[in-house]
Structure 1
Amino acid sequence: MSLSTENNVSQKALDDDLFTLSPRHPDSRLEADWLFLFNKLPPDQWFSADYAYKTSGWLKVHTNIRKRQRILTQISEGYQSGDYDWSAYRSQMLKRINMHVLKLHQHHGVEDEGFFPEFIRMYPQLQAGFEILGRDHLRLDALLDKLQVQNDMLARSEVEDKGLSEQLHQTLMDGTDLLSQHLTDEEDLVIPILGLRQG
């Protein structure tokens, strides 16, 4: 093969890649054949005038989840690096963790008991994808319960307890990794359903 032919083949491969939609992060657990709706309604259209009124509510909830998780992690990292004393750290963390745990448990409950079964009835071929998301909820809920126990300990710990703060920080980091993957996979599966359904 000549160099010019090889370059043309390479350019064609690059051009093809531009038009080959794939999940939005490389660690996605979604199978290619589950993305038939994602291919009809890719992320660059989720906030367009035709779809935003159906998709923006769910995406806003996820934005708030990510924001709360990020703020908690930043405060925890700030304490670890000496930016906060024990009293300021506790006052910043206690109510935020309680609210975050409550809202995430509520969100998972609404999805598990309402939305996910409805979506599976609409698209039975996506059941395996929703089962992945359901297993994520079990893992996330266990981490949230652990975080709540640690937060309750923090509420009782008026004397500085670096060991507790390190345990809490690790739980936040474990939750951040799982939450990031879960929310993106969920959006790639769910947002096109919301945007394309009638009514």
Structure 2
Amino acid sequence: MLDTSYTIRQDAMPEEMRFLLETYPRDSWEAHPGFKEKTRQWLGAHQMCRRVAEQIRRDTEVILDRGMALDDYAGRLSSYGGSLVGNLHGHHSWEDHAYFPELSEADPRFDAGLELLEKDHSDLDAVLDGFTRSANRLIKLTTLDEAQAYDEAGQVHAASATIEAFLKRHLTDEEELAVPLILHHRLRG
């Protein structure tokens, strides 16, 4: 069963977190002289997580429509799911312990958004835990009880759709808070 003790914010980033976004809008980032490879790589990691989350959801829709062999799906779910969960945990741990403190030190205004981002990380951990349990259960059920495996695919689908929606909101906010600050202070060069 999917844990629902978290909320996915649907509204835009709070105004106090938008303090540099107007000066450094998203469509100007790549052309800015302060936009360096480390920032590009960080944004690339976000894009990879978005794509993998989408792929898991799409694969699960295919299996729910019986358009893929259950064994093939289980292999893909194991690979993509493990990659997504591992990369998100590692990425968020690095942000919380290295990246965010650097941004906070450079500009204390970052702290207005830091609490929100850290709450998101905590909530996302709960979502990933539920996804991992459902995915592991489904993988085991492929050899034990095919009908139950298909039933569990509904839980995996719900969890993967939640992850995808969560990442859309959270990563956009994170990027629109951090990148303008990086450009403004010429960090991460």
Q: TM tier, shorter chain? A: 0.7 to 0.9
Cα deviation 1:27-57 (Å, max 9, x = unaligned): 21321x4323212211111111624325312
1:102 paired to 2:86: yes
Change (3 A) 1:131 1:171: same
State the 1:140 CA deviation. Answer: 0.5
State the 1:59 CA deviation. Answer: 1.2
Query: Which of 1 and 2 has higher RCO (CA within 8 Å, sep 6+)?
Result: 2
Report 1:81-120 matches (<5 A): 81-120=65-104
TM-score by length of 2: 0.84
Report the secondary structure of 2:22's partner residue. Answer: helix
RMSD across aligned C-alpha pairs, in angstroms?
Answer: 1.7
Report 1:148-167 matches (<5 A): 148-157=132-141, 158=143, 159-160=145-146, 161-167=149-155
Q: Following the alignment from structure 2 to structure 1, what is the Cα–Cα distance between the partners of residues 18 and 79?
A: 39
Report 1:34-53 matches (<5 A): 34-48=17-31, 50-53=33-36
More off after superposition, 122-131 vs 61-70: 122-131
Q: Following the alignment from structure 1 to structure 2, what is the Cα–Cα distance between the partners of residues 125 and 49?
A: 21
Q: 1:170 aligns with which of 158, 166, 170?
A: 158
Counting matched residue pairs gives 173
State the 1:62 CA deviation. Answer: 0.8
More off after superposition, 119-128 vs 180-189: 119-128
Contact 1:45–1:51 (Cα < 8 Å) also in 2: no
Q: Which ranges of structure 2 fall in alignment gaps of 5 or more residues? A: 1-9
State the 1:84 CA deviation. Answer: 1.2
1:194 paired to 2:188: no
Sequence identity (%): 29
More off after superposition, 72-81 vs 41-50: 41-50
Q: Following the alignment from structure 1 to structure 2, what is the Cα–Cα distance between the partners of residues 34 and 70?
A: 27
Q: Which ranges of structure 1 fall in alignment gaps of 5 or more residues? A: 1-25
1:142 paired to 2:126: yes
More off after superposition, 77-86 vs 58-67: 77-86
Q: Following the alignment from structure 1 to structure 2, what is the Cα–Cα distance between the partners of residues 87 and 103?
A: 24
TM-score by length of 1: 0.80
Structure with bigger gyration radius: 1
Change (3 A) 1:49 1:124: closer
Counterpart amino acid of residue 170 in structure 1? A
Counterpart amino acid of residue 120 in structure 2? D
Counterpart amino acid of residue 175 in structure 1? I
Counterpart amino acid of residue 187 in structure 1? E
More off after superposition, 113-122 vs 185-194: 113-122
More off after superposition, 41-50 vs 106-115: 41-50
Residue in structure 1 matched with residue 172 of structure 2 by the alignment: 184
Residue in structure 2 matched with residue 122 of structure 1 by the alignment: 106
Q: 1:57 aligns with which of 15, 32, 41?
A: 41
Q: Following the alignment from structure 1 to structure 2, what is the Cα–Cα distance between the partners of residues 51 and 81?
A: 47
